[in-house]
Amino acid sequence: MYKKLNEIVKTYNKIIILSHISPDGDAFGSSWGLKEILSDKFPKKDIQVDLDDKKSDMTNFFPHSSTLKKAHYDGALIIVLDSAIKNRIASYSIHHAKEVVKIDHHLSTEAYGDLNFVNKKASSTCEIVVQIANELEWEISKVAAKWLYTGLVTDTGRFMHPSTTQTTFEIAGQLISKGIDTRQMYTSLSAKPLNQVKMNGYVQSKQKQINNLSYFIMPKRTYKKFGVPFEQSSGLVFTLMFSSDTKYGFYAIWDEKNKWYKGSIRSKGVPINEIAERYDGGGHKLACGVKLKNKAEIKSLIKELSEL
């Protein structure tokens, strides 16, 4: 399969790298890491990254991607990273592509690619990209290593998630050996603007507890009072997980654009992905996203999680 990927990449002069909507660190890291690797290996090819990153705070760490018109997709090879299912891909211009390669590590999966690299045991898509590069003897530069290591760190929760394996640490060591500044990266990831710090404190002070579940439903438009964009306001479930009394966390915020509640669930041990799938969501065993139509669905999910 690795050789087939190499042959496919050689065939195309135009390659576009995509990922899922609301990209996280793994989506950014694997996309920009692969872009650097391919650009170094095939310098004459037109290789573009097209991510849904216009309002993401992760652009503080990564470059801004291209804004491509549909015509640019005609006859291109599309490589989709970190998107388990087709309808989660940020750009629907994928339909204009000539061929699609999928690279992913999620439990829920859909074989939408003409060639599919899926490793459910991998800690992250960044980990898979490094494995592919190693197999094909594609050089990983210092810049590529920086992007891939950042994605690896964020998707493993700084190597605390159970998806972290010996292989994960071996790959992390390989990337560090390229000379990247891990201290600066960790400092940048931890730093938050004061208004966001205040909102995090607000969420923690207002959280509710039922049995081992800590949860908080952000009142509509409250995040605007803090001056924090929706994208940064929708990922605060981690603030609910610090208490020793908490085994599960649930956070939700009203998405005015799509007219649903965007929710996140976390667990310290018991798998929750099957519960998330019942609420139009999914992800990892211990970290999932959900889409909730109304408060009745929120109450139902809270009940399920509190009874675990």
Same domain, 10 and 156: yes
- Which comes out higher in pLDDT, residue 86 or 209? 209
Say which CATH number the domain at 173 has: 3.90.1640.10
Same domain, 81 and 150: yes
Same domain, 249 and 177: no
Give the number of other Cβ atoms within 10 Å of residue 100's Cβ: 20
Q: Which residues, 6 or more positions from 259, have their beta carbon under 8 angstroms from its beta carbon?
A: none
The pLDDT tens digits for 197-240 are 999 999 999 999 999 999 999 999 899 999 988 888 888 999 99
Same domain, 97 and 84: yes
Query: Would you state the pLDDT for residue 53?
Result: 76
Q: What is the DSSP string of 29-74?
A: HHHHHHHHHHHHH-TTSEEEE--S-TT-GGGGTSPPPP---HHHHT
Say which CATH number the domain at 268 has: 3.10.310.30
Query: Would you state the pLDDT for residue 18?
Result: 94
Domain count, the chain: 2
CA 290 to chain centre: 14
pLDDT average, residue stretch 88-117: 85
Identify the domain containing residue 209 by its residue range: 194-306
* Continuous H helices in the chain: 2-11, 25-41, 70-73, 125-136, 142-155, 166-176, 182-190, 194-206, 222-225, 230-233, 273-277, 295-306
Same domain, 177 and 202: no
Domain boundary among 189, 212, 244: 189
pLDDT at 152 over 90: yes
The pLDDT tens digits for 11-37 are 999 999 999 888 889 999 999 999 999
**What percent of the chain shows pLDDT beyond 70?**
98
Same domain, 59 and 185: yes
